[in-house]
Structure 1
Amino acid sequence: MSAVLLTAATAQASGLVLDVMTYNVRWDGLDTGRNAWENRRPVVIDLLKTYSPDVCGLQEPSAAQTRDLDQGLRDYHYYMGDHARDETIPILYKATRFTLVDAGSFWLVDQSDLSGGTRRCVWVRLEEKSSGRAFYAYNCHLDHRAPDSRLQSAQVMIRTIAARGHPDPFVITGDFNEREQGKAIHFLSGERDLVDSRERYPDIIPVDTFRFLHAPGENQGTGHGFKGGKNGGRIDYVWASEGARILESQVITYNQDGFYPSDHFPVLTRLEF
């Protein structure tokens, strides 16, 4: 992300300016050898220090990985919910700038439907210490096997966000395991006719921050299998509530001499509420 562009945009901003990142860091139980977590850990930490997001929704880290990152990122605190399993979905936030005033998690799928897995969404409400301005951050990792589960998750998310306790703006980060053509992404983008017409959904249409600034094109993928190419699927997203001013958004291809710290690229957006 261009420091020149961001500096200029920030100079003109008068609201709450946030750098928001989503990043699937890949579960530590999947790889040995070069891509083992012990080798990737310092590079992930360097990436986060380099880009210094105010808020970062992580996907897939084990509880041990989250603790590793917490130890390496002293300016950050994290929240990963009450139902953390082997794979967690923590939200990192700059404790030097924000106070955690509320937090929680909720199921994204009907637990009677085992095909939906155990997907949850973690959320925090953060308040800027210097101004008292607050916002919500939601983080999720949708099912990679079941399109219907992803659509249901999007529906639950919209209903839950609409029922949040305060009318503060919000961001959503996540590995949605779905390209833009998928039903869940279309639903989030406002195409509510994809579901039962008898159902009424809140009039909440979040903004896909990357697509807001960038027309569809090649080399916008976020999943790359440790190979570094950008021609894969764009499945990682940063969304923002309507009314946000989207200043910049970029797929981050950070690596160290061709070594990539995850099989996903993070996405970083700067926005203003």
Structure 2
Amino acid sequence: MKTLFPLFLILTSVIAMAAITPEVQAQSQQEPLGVMTYNIRYDNPDDAPNTWDNRKDRVTNLVKFYEPAFLGTQEALFHQLEDIDRALTDYRWIGKGRKDGKKGGEFSAIFYDPRKVELVAGSDSTIWLSKTPGQPSKDWDAALPRVVTWGEFEVKSSGDRVFVFNTHFDHVGERARAESAQIIIDTIEKIAGDRPVVLMGDFNIVDESKPYQILTSSSMADAIHTSELPHVGPAFTGGGFEVQIPSQGRRIDYIFTNNAVEVLKHATITSFREGYYPSDHLPVFAEIRLK
């Protein structure tokens, strides 16, 4: 009987190991990735006391605290991106100025952490939300040129790939926003197919709007509704620099994912100091896992 008991333990261990399928092993190796979208507000001297020089450290320190694998910025001018790049020493970024396709105008840039992910495609991929997406342009009732920036990334811990899109819809044109939503959905279907996708940005829309319906009637879903942990934070994202009680503003900044991405957590971050937020928008953060 003494020799049978160790043999029983060995057999039990073998059976238990055999029960761990490759799918289970792959799932256990998947590390969550942080995703943040943040309209940082363009450098406007009229924003005093909330000028860029007075708040840039608060913006970048917030990013450092949450350490997202991906950060989508909106409204950033080139010199602001340079400031962020100097502060976030572990990050790299992609994007083009919407005015000239170079350094001019605002960017919808994607910062990424090369310790966690590697850019494999899309380093030069900024698309204009217009009838001529390959060149600086605007159409319909848009007040300004608008863009979407995308990249394909490989997760270093698993080798899986994810496509990340970041955008900023027009603040005036209702048709332009609807057309922009359709352009992005068509682009996602063409480039990514059914592979993991994250779409984030300042969409200047609310849940009841036509662009929102276009986005969510496709393969994409609003991460606030699919998060395993119920949403944390307020229901608004844009309302100005000043902290107000009761809060005023609308939810116009979003993170969307397709069904190849699992959303673990979702939050609107309300960090403030001396009565002011670091920007006139609140950042939105999600923790995701690729399926």
- How would you bin the TM-score normalised by the shorter chain? 0.7 to 0.9
1:131 match: 158
* Residue in 1 that maps onto 2:94: 79
Q: Trace 1:22-61 onto structure 2 (pairs within 5 A).
A: 22-29=37-44, 31-61=46-76
Structure 1 stretches of at least 4 aligned residues deviating more than 6 Å after TM superposition = none
Matches within 5 A, 1:220-239: 220-229=235-244, 230-239=247-256
Q: Which moved more, 1:14-23 or 1:259-268?
A: 14-23
Residues of 2 paired with 1:226 and 1:58: CA distance? 17
Candidates 163, 180, 186, aligned match of 1:159: 186
CA distance in 2 between counterparts of 1:78 and 1:155 reads 26
Equivalent residues of 2:199, 2:256 under 8 A apart: yes
> 2: distance between equivalents of 1:242 and 1:166?
11
Q: Which residue of 2 aligns with 1:262?
A: 279
Using the alignment, how far apart are the partners of 1:253 and 1:226 within structure 2?
A: 11
Do the aligned residues in 1 keep the contact of 2:195 with 2:260 (CA within 8 Å)?
no
The alpha-carbon deviation at position 243 of structure 1 amounts to: 3.5
Measured at CA, do residues 189 and 141 of structure 1 come closer, stay the same or move farther in structure 2, by a change above 3 Å?
Answer: same
Tell me what 1:107 maps to.
128
State how 1:159-238 maps to structure 2 within 5 Å.
159-164=186-191, 168-190=195-217, 204-213=218-227, 219-229=234-244, 230-238=247-255
Cα distance, 1:114 vs structure 2? 5.8
**Aligned positions, number:** 249
Give the alignment's TM-score, normalised by structure 1.
0.84
Gaps of 5+ in 1: 1-11, 191-203
Return 5+ residue gaps in structure 2 as ranges.
1-26, 132-136
The match for 1:247 among 264, 275, 279 is: 264
Q: Which has the higher contact order (CA 8 A, sep 6+)?
A: 1
Question: What displacement does 1:112 show?
Answer: 6.8
TM value normalised by structure 2: 0.79
Q: After superposing the two structures, state which structure 1 stretch, 65-74 or 226-235, moved more.
A: 226-235
Q: Which structure has the larger Rg over C-alpha atoms? A: 2
The 3 A distance-change label for structure 1 pair 112 and 41 is closer
Could you tell me which amino acid in structure 1 is paired with residue 281 of structure 2? H
CA deviation string 1:165-210 (max 9, x = no partner): 67531100100011111110011110xxxxxxxxxxxxx4211001
Change in 2 beyond 3 A, CA 1:72/1:215? closer
Give % identity. 33
**Secondary structure class of the residue paired with 2:141:** helix
Change (3 A) 1:30 1:129: same
What is the letter of the counterpart of residue 76 of structure 1? Y
Counterpart residue number, 1:94: 113
Contact kept? 2:148, 2:166, Cα under 8 Å: yes
Distance 1:47-1:74 versus aligned 2 partners, 3 A rule:
same
Q: RMSD over aligned Cα, in angstroms?
A: 2.3
